[in-house]
Amino acid sequence: MTIAALVFLTLSACKENNVHQASLRSVQTVAPEVSGTTALKTYSGIVQEAHQTKVGFKTPGQIQKIYVKEGDRIVKGQLLAELDSKDYQLGVEALQIQYDQMQREAARMDEMFAEKAVSQNDYEKFNAGMKQLGVQLQVNKNKLEYTRLYAPSDGYVLRVNNNPSELVDAGTPVFDLLDVSHMEVLCDVPASQYVDRNNIIRYYGKTNYTGDQQIPMQFLSLTPKADGNQLYQLRLSFGQTPDSRITAGMNIEICLQTKTPQTEGKITVPMHAVFQREGNEFVWVLNADSTVSSRKVEMSGIDDDGDAVIVSGLTGEETIVRAGANTLQEGEKVKVISVTTETNVGGML
């Protein structure tokens, strides 16, 4: 055989093989998804402060300085304002001098009592007077401390009710504060969720300002009575100090992870992968030799994502044809093509 003949036969074989490859039907495949044992439900909630507080000085006086303004975020123990403390300071110093003097006299009084130079009655009166002076000194020290007003908790300044140089009485509200140390979330859930309340195993929240971060939540209460819209109010607290960007009045997405034992072991496939024949449901399974075989399955319904829920016929380890099921034949050899995604434009990956 000549070289020209060999070349002709080789080219003919290649051409025949290419024609055969071109005649294969192209299909897209997918792996069945095994359903988990939990379901996720999301509801819209709103962040609320645990309570608002009004704070003021525990002693009267003239406001000397205010250190915060409306809208400021504050932390527990932060100095908010102070009174003119000069008179209170003088009161402490005056009593301190008297108390120190009596302490020096106490040693001499003890010696005189031991020598019976003073009576029992005079000795007891002296000690009682010194204790009373000590109590009064502590009261004056407390009043001096009360001239400084501190934040009782983390939060925000909602309103400043007074200005520097104004006189205020003890207990007059100088600030209205928003306590965010114990913020709560309220959301309404339907009756179906209320009935399934004992199967909830986890609560978390998401906001537009924290991205995909899952914010841990803790259960507080669920009202046992529905409102006029047949909704039940769920109260949650933050499992940890919330992000500073989360404030009262903000919308938040509440996610409830619930046990769903009824879905255990079930498999889902795209609805287009299921076809009917003689009143039964089937899917095409791709074999190792690139041929397809029909597999009878039992479908219980459609899930929230629009996929078919398969309760028998598949193990979850198969590769099935996701589209074009009605055009295939038993044992037909096919060519698998990849699915183009947004991250794989042109099928280059």
Helix (DSSP H) and strand (DSSP E) numbers for the chain:
4, 24
pLDDT at residue 19 is higher than 90: no
Amino acid 187: pLDDT:
95
The C-alpha torsion from 338 through 344 and 346 to 349, rounded to 10°, is -70
Query: What's the pLDDT score for residue 265?
Result: 60
Give the residue among 182, 106, 91 at the shortest CA–CA distance from 137: 91
Q: Tell me what the mean pLDDT of segment 299-316 comes to.
A: 82
Check residue 13 and give its pLDDT. Answer: 46
d(CA 89, CA 143): 9
DSSP state of 316: S
Which residues are CB-contacts of 105 (< 8 A; sequence separation ≥ 6)? 126
For residue range 233-286, list pLDDT tens digits in order.
999 988 776 777 787 889 999 999 887 655 556 788 999 899 988 889 999 999
Answer whether 0.75 is exceeded by the pTM: no
**Domain architecture of the chain: domains with CATH:** 24-35+265-340 (2.40.420.20), 39-50+181-263 (2.40.30.170), 51-84+147-179 (2.40.50.100), 86-145 (1.10.287)
Per the model's pLDDT, the better-predicted residue between 218 and 348 turns out to be: 218
Average pLDDT, the chain: 84
- The residue-averaged pLDDT of 276-300 equals 91
> From the centroid of its chain, how far is CA 272?
38
Cβ proximity of 219 and 197 under 8 Å:
no
Phi, psi dihedrals of residue 191, rounded to the nearest 5°: -60, -35
| Confidence class for position 342, pLDDT limits 50, 70, 90 | very low
Sorting pLDDT into bands at 50, 70 and 90, what band is 76? very high
Distance set, CA 30 to CA 199, 281, 326 (Å): 32, 17, 16
Looking at residue 295, its pLDDT comes to 94
| Share of residues in the chain with pLDDT > 90 (%) | 44
Q: What share of the chain is helix, strand, coil (3-state, %, to 5)?
A: 30, 35, 35
CA distance 283 to 243: 49
Residue 113's CB is within 10 A of a number of other CB atoms, namely: 17
pLDDT, residue 263, reads 53
The answer to whether 142 and 95 have CB atoms below 8 angstroms apart is no
- What pLDDT score does 312 carry? 87
Q: Which residues of 295-320 are buried (b: 16+ CB within 10 A; e: fewer)?
A: eebebeeeeeeebbbbeebbeeebbb
